[in-house]
Amino acid sequence: MARIVMKFGGTSVADLDRIKNVAARVKREVDAGNEVAVVVSAMSGVTNQLVKYCTDLSPLHDAREYDAVVATGEQVTSGLTAIALQNLGVDARSWSGWQIPLKTDGAHGKARIESIDGATLIARMQSGQVPVVAGFQGIGPDNRVTTLGRGGSDTSAVALAAALQADRCDIYTDVDGVYTTDPRIVPKARKLAKIAYEEMLELASVGAKVLQTRSVELAMKQRVRVQVLSSFEGNGLGSDLPGTMVVDEDEIVEQAIVSGIAYSRDEAKITVRRVPDRPGIAAAIFGPLSDGGVNVDMIVQNVSADGTTDMTFTVGRADLPRAKAVLNEQIGSIGFAEILADSDVAKISVVGTGMRSHAGVASTMFKSLADRGINIQVISTSEIKVSVLIAADYTELAVRALHTAYGLDSE
């Protein structure tokens, strides 16, 4: 007997038939004698629609009300999944974040989980009941509903697995594992049987949506065994195929130099033109952005010829209106000429722990992109990653070219 957290993403609960399929999959684990807690996302497309309602009404909306709106998608699917389980004779009930309670900090829209009281859920599971938890949501210090950032149900599931001392956290999605890159844009992508926490963390943080970054961070810290698998393959009751296990680096025997490639179209580029080149200028730009809750990713500053310089950086695309508003408030104190913004960009990243010991990864990347006439706008690197910003139109071309260049294509 094991204690398992089973998380089902948006496409896995997209309609009533799929919810019935999820219930049957859960029942199989229950019938096998396991204690199961379920975490569900909203039906696919629902969260996007809810976000759009908020932004259409007001681009700079109140983040607390945004959370009140977007958290509703998961409430619907948790209730429906509980009903579907009951229809199969499984004792089940739905749980909203606040009912558990799953407590978060007050960063509405991208809250972090602070604590989960697992006691009640453990007692229910031990008495044979299946808790069906609404993913993506919690309750903040202001006693209001919070959400965990897009893709946050993965993090709900891993955090719950830690709080419930579960043996595994199974993430059911619409692909049967983690691939060398997004299999939807590179048909030659290869499925990985195992991936190291660190590599998964880096891939997630640069755009591989298959797991939310924080879920990997948490799994690594709390030693949660995470497996990614498909809810569609196999006998119609979910995958019988092995998925991808996220493991410690030393469990991986053959380490490739580059193990994965990711892209993100979720960033926007901002250039602040002609800022005075003096000490404190970076703090004057990035301090207010950070205070305004805007995360900055890649940064380049040019040398100055005439005492002024251009500062280029990227922010989350959704944060662009807020970032522009914050900077425009600072125009007097910073003294820049203008702000240029470009959302038609994509960040392409190559990731691999083998980079620590092998040179030439970046130059291979630059050369492959140059051979295809793709211009690089910004570059950033870390110990196990190289990222470049390019025009969004070239995303697929760039990812495919790099996948081939690093020898990742399947035969």
Interface residues with Mg ion (CB under 5 A) are 9, 151
Which of 41, 129, 147, 230 touches ligand ADP by CB under 6 A? 41
Q: Is 189 in contact with 34 (CB distance < 8 Å)?
A: no
Kindly state the tokens that stand for 248: 């410690």
Which of 12, 41, 78, 213 touches ligand ASP by CB under 6 A? 41
178 binds ligand ADP (CB under 6 A): yes
Which of 29, 74, 170, 182 touches ligand ADP by CB under 6 A? 182
316 binds ligand ASP (CB under 6 A): no
To ligand ADP, the closest distance from the beta carbon of 183 in angstroms equals 6
175 binds, among ligand ADP, ligand ASP, Mg ion, none (CB under 5 to 8 A by kind): ligand ADP
Q: What number of chain residues touch ligand ASP (CB under 6 A)?
A: 13
238 binds ligand ADP (CB under 6 A): no
Which of 118, 151, 243, 316 touches ligand ASP by CB under 6 A? 151
Q: Which residues have a Cβ under 8 Å from the Cβ of 55 and sit 6 or more positions away?
A: 61
To ligand ADP, the closest distance from the beta carbon of 21 in angstroms equals 14
152 binds ligand ASP (CB under 6 A): yes
Q: What number of chain residues touch ligand ADP (CB under 6 A)?
A: 19
CA atoms of 393 and 381, how far apart (whole Å): 23
To ligand ASP, the closest distance from the beta carbon of 219 in angstroms equals 15
Which of 151, 152, 238, 243 touches ligand ADP by CB under 6 A? 151
CA atoms of 265 and 262, how far apart (whole Å): 10
Query: What is the residue type of 136?
Result: F
135 binds ligand ASP (CB under 6 A): yes
184 binds ligand ADP (CB under 6 A): yes
34 binds ligand ASP (CB under 6 A): no
* b/e map 247-282, b = 16+ CB within 10 Å: beeeebeeebbbbbbbbbebbbbbbbebbebeeebe
109 binds ligand ASP (CB under 6 A): no
To Mg ion, the closest distance from the beta carbon of 216 in angstroms equals 12
73 binds ligand ASP (CB under 6 A): yes
Interacting residues toward ligand ASP by CB under 6 A: 9-10, 41-42, 47, 73, 135-136, 150-154
Interacting residues toward ligand ADP by CB under 6 A: 9-12, 41, 151, 173-175, 178-179, 181-184, 208-210, 260
